[in-house]
Structures are given as structure tokens and as C-alpha cells.
Amino acid sequence: MKLFLTKIISIHNRKEFHKLFKAIKSSAKEMPSQINPEFDIVIVGGLGHVGLPLGIAFADSGLRVCLYDVDAKKADSVKQGVMPFIEYGAEPILKKVIKDGKLKISLDASSVSKARYVIIAIGTPVDEYLNPKTRAFLESVTALKKYLSEEQTIIVRSTVYPHTCQQVLNLLKNGNNREWHIAYCPERIVQGYSIKELKELPQIVAGLSDKAVKDAASLFGRLSPKIIKTSMGEAELVKFFSNGWRYIQFAVTNQFYMIATAFGVDYDKVRRAMTDGYGRTATLPTAGFAAGPCLLKDTMQLAAFNNNNFLLGHAAMMINEGLPNFIVENLRKKYDLSKTKIGILGMAFKADIDDIRDSLSFKLGKILRFHGAKVYYSDEYAKNPTFVSKEELLKSCEVVVVGVPHSAYKGLRIPKRVEIIDLWNVAKKNHN
């Protein structure tokens, strides 16, 4: 248990968070209380996976949007109309809104003072023990305070620990009687498909004032087909419960996979027999790595909120995080790993995207190398000079593990001499 609890969560996420916080805090000039509405919206963390697609969508709706961030490299890319990561359908719209002047990019924290709406979309890190780093998020808001005004509506888009929005309000008020308007509109988008899902999914809206709720509902009503107004507590739990539910679902199917495999039965055939024409099991997903920057993190934050009394969540973590170990232990029964070349197809955490944050494919590779295997990595979207092509990987390796079901693997011809371990069932049917 201790081994799992000490898993290091996305070094990249934490570095980017603290880089943004440091940039905000280091700016010394005080801003006047009256806002200059140069923009309709400014998004803090506007070049990230949450903020950038949201800003593009709002700009496309006709609003004047400013994306504030500290990543100069990403800023240069976006200014040229080039997406810094995969987001389907986004780049043509980005080019259009940049050309029309509806979308601006800023590396200056004072830009936060120049919009009616301030949307906070910065990452919310957890520590090495998977406890939420609420203080870091609140410190970033404190550093932003000199650029904020009670005339603005401040919308938290980040996934935050329960009661965080109330603490934000307390920080901004700081004993005075001025009324600040804080809303919470949690993001529930599947990464890579924000442009599509922003227009299709209902938006949860909560706030700590009537004006905050009204303003946030009006703003997101430009994108979403339905606004669902809830209390703040309800909205905070909607996000955690949603990700916790998905994580537990994946744990259930992964546990079934382990049981079937240990019994010598093809789990995918079992699952297909279970779900074929039988509605009560139709939602059972395929087995596979449950990874990425949200599911585990939010499940563990929910456990922390409930005084670490979330047995289902902890069990799900043990199962999902233990799946790479299960695969390796099965391979050790058949091979001398110190003399075996093993390839991992797919290093992103999700199919058909380029984001490798917290991908379990890397954990699998580390465990295999610990046992002496020579490991090859390949991915269709994520770029790394150490990665090889899928063709070279298949040519070089005796065993291949499909880490993520990229669509490019569906027609892959697997040589007979290669053992394929494909939890997703995208490639083994082509084994010839």
C-alpha cells in the first residue's frame, strides 16, 4: 500500500503550477479597483489543456478572450495559430479567432485586471502522498488578488478540493464587507475533444452569490446546450464523484481481467459474451490502463476529503496501479526477462492523443527494465527522440504490450513469432 501511496504525480504538472504561481507573485505593481474591460474573459492558465480549448470556444462565440499563461514557447505557437497539443477540431478555429482579433495571448499577469470574467484554469497538484495541495492553489489566488476587483465575476474551472471556493472568497474579502462574486463551473471534458463536447455536454454551475450564478450561467450558456444550477457543495462533489466512478469502473474490469487471465481464460471473450444483448452489463468497459492526470488524483482527493475512509477508491487504486505489475509477473513465468526484448505500443495515457502525463505505460517499462528486459517505446502521437516506430518495434521485439489503443494499431499485422499482450483487443485479432 505504501508503495502506491508514494507514487510521484506528474512532475510536469507541479513544475508548471509553481512556475505560474511564481510569475504571478513576483509582479509588484498594484492595480486599481476599477476594471478596464479590454476583454470579456481572461483565462488564467489559458494555454493548458483545459484553458486553451475553452478560450478558443468562447472567442469563436464572439467574445473577446485573453489567455494568460507563463509558457512563452506555447504562447508563440498559439499566436501562430498552431495548437501545442492534440485537440481535435481546434486548430482551424484557433487560426480564425487569432486572425479576427478575438483571441489574445498574454504573459503579463496584469491582464487579469482587464476583463469582466476571470476564469481560473490552473492545475491543482497533489503531493507525493496523493494529498491535495490546497494551499498552493490558494496562494496563487492570493498573488492574483492585486489584479482582481469585486466588479469581476471569478469562475473557478479547475478541479478543487471541497470548500476551496469558499476559502477563495474569504481570501479576497479579507475582513472587508465588499461583495465578491465567485462561481464554480467544473470541467468534465474528455481530453482531445473539448471543442465538440463543450457544445454538447450540460454545464454544472454553482456560486457564492446570486450574481455569480447568474453571470456564470449566462457565460457558459453561450456554449453549453443546458445549464444545471447546483449548490456549491453539490458541484464540488459532482466532479469528484464523476472521476471516482470512472476510476472504479476501470478497476472492476481490470480485476475481472486479472481473475480470468489467472484462470487461463480470454477475458475479452468473457466480456463480449457478458455484454452481447444483455443491457445490464452493457457499460462494462474493456480492460486496460486507467491513467492520466485526473482519475487517480481526484479519487484520492475524494478519499482525503472523507478522512481516508473511501475503501472502494483505495481498492481501485491498488488494482489499476497494480496492473503493470500483474502483466510483468505473468511474463516472468514464461520468459527470462533479462534476455527478452519487449516493446510497448502507445505511451500516451489515452487513445489518439499526445499527452503522456501519468501514463502507466512508463510504469510498465520501468518494472520491465528492473527485471532486466530491454524495452522499446513507440507512440503514434507523443514525440520523443528515444521512441521507435511501430514497425521497428515489431521487428525488434519478442513480446509486445499494447499500452493504449491508438486507432493506428487496429490494422496492425503482428508477426507470428511475436507474443502480443493486448488488453484493449485492438491488435491481437490481426496476429498472423
Which CATH number characterizes residue 301's domain? Answer: 3.40.50.720
Helices marked H in 27-89: 51-60, 72-79
Q: Which domain holds residue 417?
A: 239-430
Instruction: Phi first, then psi: give them for residue 137, nearest 5 degrees.
Output: -65, -45
* 290 and 334 in a common domain: yes
How far apart (Å, rounded) are the C-alpha atoms in residues 266 and 323?
16
Q: What is the dihedral of CA 327, 381, 413, 329, to 10 degrees?
A: -10
How far apart (Å, rounded) are the C-alpha atoms in residues 373 and 337?
5
Helix (H, G, I), strand (E, B) or coil at 367: helix
Which residues, at least 6 apart from 205, have a Cβ–Cβ distance to it below 8 Å?
A: 183, 184, 185, 213, 216, 217, 220, 227, 228, 229, 230, 235
Using the 3D structure, point to which of 230, 265, 296 is the last residue of a domain: 230
Crossing angle of helices 90-99 and 51-60, rounded to 10°: 60
* 369 and 247 in a common domain: yes
For each of the chain's 432 residues, which pLDDT tens digit applies? 444 443 433 434 555 555 555 555 454 344 334 445 899 999 999 999 999 999 999 999 999 999 999 999 999 999 999 999 999 999 999 999 999 999 999 999 999 999 999 999 987 777 777 777 788 888 889 989 999 999 999 999 998 989 999 999 999 998 777 899 999 999 999 999 999 999 999 999 999 999 999 999 999 999 999 999 999 999 999 999 999 999 999 999 999 999 999 999 999 999 999 999 999 999 999 999 999 889 999 999 999 999 999 999 999 999 999 999 999 999 999 999 999 999 999 999 999 999 999 999 999 999 999 999 999 999 999 999 999 999 999 999 999 999 999 999 997 888 989 999 999 988 865 555
Q: How far is CA 129 from the centre of its chain?
A: 19
* 344 and 218 in a common domain: no
How far apart (Å, rounded) are the C-alpha atoms in residues 261 and 339?
24
* 349 and 261 in a common domain: yes
* 283 and 185 in a common domain: no
How much is the pLDDT for 431?
54
* 402 and 294 in a common domain: yes
How much is the pLDDT for 18?
53
* 165 and 117 in a common domain: yes
Using the 3D structure, point to which of 210, 230, 250 is the last residue of a domain: 230
Q: Which letter does DSSP use for residue 126 in this model? A: B
**How many independent structural domains does the chain possess?**
2
* 252 and 154 in a common domain: no
How far apart (Å, rounded) are the C-alpha atoms in residues 418 and 203?
47
Using the 3D structure, point to which of 230, 252, 282 is the last residue of a domain: 230
Question: For residue range 130-158, what is the model confidence (pLDDT) as tens digits?
Answer: 777 788 888 889 989 999 999 999 999 99
Amino acid at 40: D
The pTM (predicted TM-score) of the whole model is 0.88
Contact 42, 114 (CB under 8 A): yes
* 352 and 278 in a common domain: yes
| Bridge partners, 420 (sequence order) | 400
* 213 and 316 in a common domain: no
How far apart (Å, rounded) are the C-alpha atoms in residues 428 and 432?
9
* 99 and 80 in a common domain: yes
Amino acid at 314: H
* 255 and 224 in a common domain: no
How far apart (Å, rounded) are the C-alpha atoms in residues 30 and 46?
22
